[in-house]
């Protein structure tokens, strides 16, 4: 199937994509410039958001020093939870409401940046109800009434690419599932990506980040084509998730190649800064790609995996509570998804496998891509499927129930699947080696 054929318009499908520009500063030492950029955006009183672990690292000190040197008042909130919840989000919002900031800076991983994106929205335009901005069916998915206060996102990891996207994710504790806010207004005004921050990342964290980037890229590349998503009644209001498209394709294929060439090197040799710098750039490319195309089944299923965890504790993360790092929650589903969806768009799976330097000839493309990924998972210490995370076949129905509700990404798959098919994909993800 050619790219032209894949994007052939059918029925009432859309005819165009909306490409939102990303303002990004990328390079070693770039974090030292945050004060100048904040001043240029008119910030005078900044709320800097981070978590307790990152708060003790040099990145936050560098950002505070740069902001202060630019004459900007800074107050630090370091209470962001890893895998943030509605509880931690409300605490972060309370901090902003009491301090009355005119701008925000986030320094940390996706949890920190997502939290700050949501705080920026809620503090700029307080809603009548907390769920007003949350995606349907949990909330009302209301658009922002206008421009938000400026936000500069400074990632210290490379997996989520939250600085590039218009989405924020958090755990909704009472429901045991993840919820999201998809709103073009919450994309940060600027991302500052400094690969120096990756020097301090433990190997398992690098592995999980790399798995997330890989899945971002492949999911976007194999998503439903934008021409098969119903055209919006208002062309100025296209959704954040638009489906696979030529713009995202270019970014995603290069991200897949960079992950294949650099992830094992970066995990096995912490001193190989070149590999980590390449991974940082791969995260940016995949973020640009899925920021336009959107992810699909592996991410939709991952929210169930992380939300229902009971005992798993990952090396490299706080061990005070069960936690499946996001990249691992995604990747344990991915090989099973590739095997199932490969026949739907075989050329797309084949091209992704080739970008990953995997031989395709003589076997189904989805299987080839899955096999190449499984080999990388083993080499970098990723969990061996749902079984290693503590799940059993008795929890298949619960996993399916939670995953099925994530329509924002599930509906972005190359074809619609049934609930029983999702259950079968989960069943195929318990063990790979």
Domains identified in the chain and CATH numbers? 3-9+201-427 (1.20.1090.10), 29-193 (3.40.50.1970)
With bands split at pLDDT 50, 70 and 90, how would you rate the model's confidence at 3? low
Per-residue model confidence (pLDDT) at position 4: 58
Query: Does the bond joining 303 to the residue before it have cis omega, within 30 degrees of 0?
Result: no
pLDDT one-digit tens code per residue, 235-254: 998 998 999 999 999 999 99
Phi/psi for 118 (5° steps) reads -65, -40
pLDDT one-digit tens code per residue, 371-416: 999 999 999 999 999 999 999 999 999 999 999 988 889 999 999 9
From residue 11, alpha-carbon distances to 2, 15, 68, 387 in Å are: 19, 11, 56, 42
Determine the average pLDDT of the residues in 189-196: 98
Say if CB 34 and CB 152 are below 8 A apart. yes
Phi/psi for 212 (5° steps) reads -65, -45
Query: pTM (2 decimals)?
Result: 0.93
Cβ partners under 8 Å of residue 157, min gap 6: 108, 109, 110, 197, 198, 201, 205, 209, 283
């Amino acid at each position: 199937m050619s790219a032209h054929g894949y994007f052939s318009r059918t029925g009432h499908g859309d005819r165009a994509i909306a490409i939102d520009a990303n303002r990004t500063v990328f390079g070693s030492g770039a974090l030292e410039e945050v004060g100048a950029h904040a001043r240029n955006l008119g910030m005078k009183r900044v709320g800097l958001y981070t978590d307790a672990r990152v708060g003790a690292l040099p990145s936050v000190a560098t950002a505070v020093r740069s902001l202060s040197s630019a004459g900007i008042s800074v107050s630090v909130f370091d209470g962001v939870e890893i895998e943030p919840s509605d509880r931690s989000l409300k605490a972060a919002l309370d901090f902003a409401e009491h301090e009355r900031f005119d701008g925000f800076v986030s320094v940390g991983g996706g949890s920190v940046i997502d939290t700050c994106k949501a705080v920026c929205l809620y503090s700029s335009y307080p809603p009548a109800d907390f769920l007003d901005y949350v995606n349907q069916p949990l909330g009302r998915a209301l658009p922002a009434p206008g421009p938000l206060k400026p936000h500069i996102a400074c990632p210290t990891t490379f997996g989520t690419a939250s600085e590039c996207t218009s989405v924020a994710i958090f755990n909704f504790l009472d429901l045991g599932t993840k919820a999201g806010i998809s709103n073009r207004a919450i994309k940060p005004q600027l991302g500052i990506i400094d690969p120096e921050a990756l020097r301090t990342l433990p190997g398992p964290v690098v592995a999980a980040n790399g798995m997330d980037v890989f899945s971002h890229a492949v999911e976007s590349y194999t998503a439903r084509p934008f021409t098969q998503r119903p055209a919006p009644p208002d062309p100025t209001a296209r959704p954040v998730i638009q489906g696979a498209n030529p713009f995202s394709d270019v970014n995603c294929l290069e991200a897949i190649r960079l992950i294949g060439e650099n992830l094992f090197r970066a995990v096995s040799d912490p001193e190989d800064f070149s590999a980590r710098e390449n991974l940082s750039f791969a995260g940016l490319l995949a973020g640009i790609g899925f920021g336009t195309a959107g992810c699909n089944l592996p991410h939709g299923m991952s929210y169930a995996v992380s939300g229902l965890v009971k005992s798993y504790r990952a090396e490299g993360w706080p061990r005070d509570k069960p936690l499946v790092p996001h990249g691992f929650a995604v990747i344990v589903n991915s090989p099973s998804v590739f095997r199932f969806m490969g026949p739907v768009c075989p050329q797309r799976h084949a091209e992704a496998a080739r970008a990953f330097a995997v031989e395709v000839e003589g076997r189904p493309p989805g299987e080839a891509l899955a096999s190449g990924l499984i080999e990388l998972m083993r080499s970098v210490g990723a969990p061996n499927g749902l079984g290693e995370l503590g799940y059993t076949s008795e929890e298949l129905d619960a996993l399916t129930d939670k995953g099925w509700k994530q329509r924002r990404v599930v509906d972005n798959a190359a074809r619609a699947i049934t609930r029983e098919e999702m259950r079968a994909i989960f069943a195929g993800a318990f063990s790979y080696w």
